[in-house]
Chains A and B, each alone.
Chain A
Amino acid sequence: DAGVIQSPRHEVTEMGQEVTLRCKPISGHNSLFWYRQTMMRGLELLIYFNNNVPIDDSGMPEDRFSAKMPNASFSTLKIQPSEPRDSAVYFCASSFRTGVGTDTQYFGPGTRLTVL
């Protein structure tokens, strides 16, 4: 089992540039989550999908952030334009939705984003 795969692992970009983070969930999982982790704000849920459909995007900071899940094996998180305050580690996680609220999440290795 390959686990959750994220790319790139590190991204350094300049303010104003577009950034795209990618995630491949574990095969067979039907829920996907995007988190952001910083020292100041901890681990924040940005958005999550069930069966490729966005369910809750209330954690998305602002319109500069967007996420898509075109199929069960791929998701992207895009930031456009990027700002220095977006610097963080972005995690993707996946789970199998049980329908009874006992889902266990499996996290990817994360993408460390630095916006200069």
Chain B
Amino acid sequence: GQQVMQIPQYQHVQEGEDFTTYCNSSTTLSNIQWYKQRPGGHPVFLIQLVKSGEVKKQKRLTFQFGEAKKNSSLHITATQTTDVGTYFCAGHTGTASKLTFGTGTRLQVTL
């Protein structure tokens, strides 16, 4: 079945450092979504990318969708303690409602 892997599983950074998580799918995706889950919370939608090679920015967060629509990345510039949480990528294949979630990257930020 379809698998979506993320690396790294865990990263610990000092506040102000940059952070990147990578997402790789075993199959071509129709789109990629990113979610953030704070400790003790639930996944919350951040953004969706649809086009091959698409890049979107949200303040300090930059999201990219690969040319082959099988990979994606999330880059955070100058991390803050509010960025702490687990970041999940998730993809649709075709027109189905089902999302396949990645394995997640847990980010810890310390002062």
Determine if B97 and A43 form an interchain contact, defined as CB atoms under 8 angstroms apart: no
Interface size grouping (class) on chain A: 20 to 34
CA distance A91 to B48 in the complex (A): 21
Given known pairs A31-B97, A42-B104, A99-B95, the reply for A107 and B33 (CB within 8 Å) is no
Determine if A110 and B42 form an interchain contact, defined as CB atoms under 8 angstroms apart: yes
Residues in B whose Cβ lies below 8 Å from that of A42: 101, 103-104
Determine if B96 and A101 form an interchain contact, defined as CB atoms under 8 angstroms apart: yes
Nearest Cβ distance between residue B3 and chain A, in whole angstroms? 11
Interface string of A90-113 (1 = CB under 8 A from B): 010101010111111111111000
CA distance A88 to B104 in the complex (A): 17
Partner of A101, one of B44, B88, B92, B101: B92
Determine if A109 and B42 form an interchain contact, defined as CB atoms under 8 angstroms apart: yes
How many pairs of residues, A versus B, come closer than 8 Å at their CB atoms? 59
Determine if B98 and A48 form an interchain contact, defined as CB atoms under 8 angstroms apart: yes
Chain A to chain B contacts (Cβ below 8 Å), 26 pairs: A31-B97, A42-B101, A43-B43, A43-B101, A43-B104, A45-B101, A55-B98, A91-B42, A91-B43, A97-B97, A101-B31, A101-B93, A101-B95, A101-B96, A101-B97, A102-B30, A102-B31, A102-B48, A102-B50, A103-B99, A104-B33, A104-B48, A105-B43, A105-B90, A105-B99, A109-B42
CA distance A24 to B92 in the complex (A): 24
Determine if A107 and B97 form an interchain contact, defined as CB atoms under 8 angstroms apart: no
Nearest Cβ distance between residue B91 and chain A, in whole angstroms? 9
Binding site for A on B (CB under 8 A): 30-31, 33, 41-45, 48, 50, 88, 90, 92-101, 103-104
Determine if A55 and B33 form an interchain contact, defined as CB atoms under 8 angstroms apart: no
- What is the predominant secondary structure among interface residues of chain A facing chain B? strand
Partner of B94, one of A101, A104, A105: A101
Residues in B whose Cβ lies below 8 Å from that of A33: 98-99
Residues in B whose Cβ lies below 8 Å from that of A99: 95
Give 4 new A-B contacts, CB below 8 A, not counting A45-B101, A101-B93, A101-B96.
A48-B97, A102-B92, A105-B90, A106-B45
Asked if A7 is an interface residue, CB under 8 A from chain B, the answer is: no
